[in-house]
Amino acid sequence: MAIVVGYVTTSEGEAALSAAIEEARRRSSRLVVVLARKSRGDAAADTALDADADAVRDLLDEADVAYDVRQLRRADDVAESIVTTADEVGADLIVIGLRRRSPVGKLILGSNAQRILLDAPCPVLAVKPVATAES
């Protein structure tokens, strides 16, 4: 079985990856990282996505967990890709990061997070980053 984590290079993404690594160790499961980057989808963004993937691989090598990293390009639908990946690998769990929302934003959870929660074929663990003095 596997754990699927949605990862973006943000504090929310870092929190999700950290929680997913802990769950993978606890469950002795393989970790499947669905890596996305907020970008325009040009060549520079693709290079940055490749660098992000290399950094994630280095971190996972150090964490000593079995893993697979899948990169999404800008045209890919993040929520659909995470749910589809979870289906494909028979995931036991999906891990996503959530960000703090404005009062208006609280009325809607966030389109990707909401779609993942509603469409996931398995339980979803939603985590938020550790609060800092600046938050």
What mean pLDDT comes out for the span 6-26? 94
Structural domain tally of the chain? 2
Q: Is 119 exposed, middle or buried (0-12, 13-18, 19+ CB in 10 A)?
A: middle
Using pLDDT thresholds of 50, 70 and 90, give the confidence band for residue 103: low
Query: Which of 53, 76, 99 is a domain's end point?
Result: 76
Same domain, 100 and 126: yes
Overall average pLDDT of the 85-111 stretch = 78
Which of 5-14, 39-48, 70-79 is most confident?
5-14
Residues 34 and 72 in one domain: yes
Flag whether 114 is in a domain: yes
Residues 70 and 93 in one domain: no
- Structural domain including 34 reads 29-76
Rounded CA separation 98/96 (Å)? 7
> Does residue 7 lie in a domain region?
no
The phi and psi torsions of 29 (rounded to 5 degrees) equal -110, 160
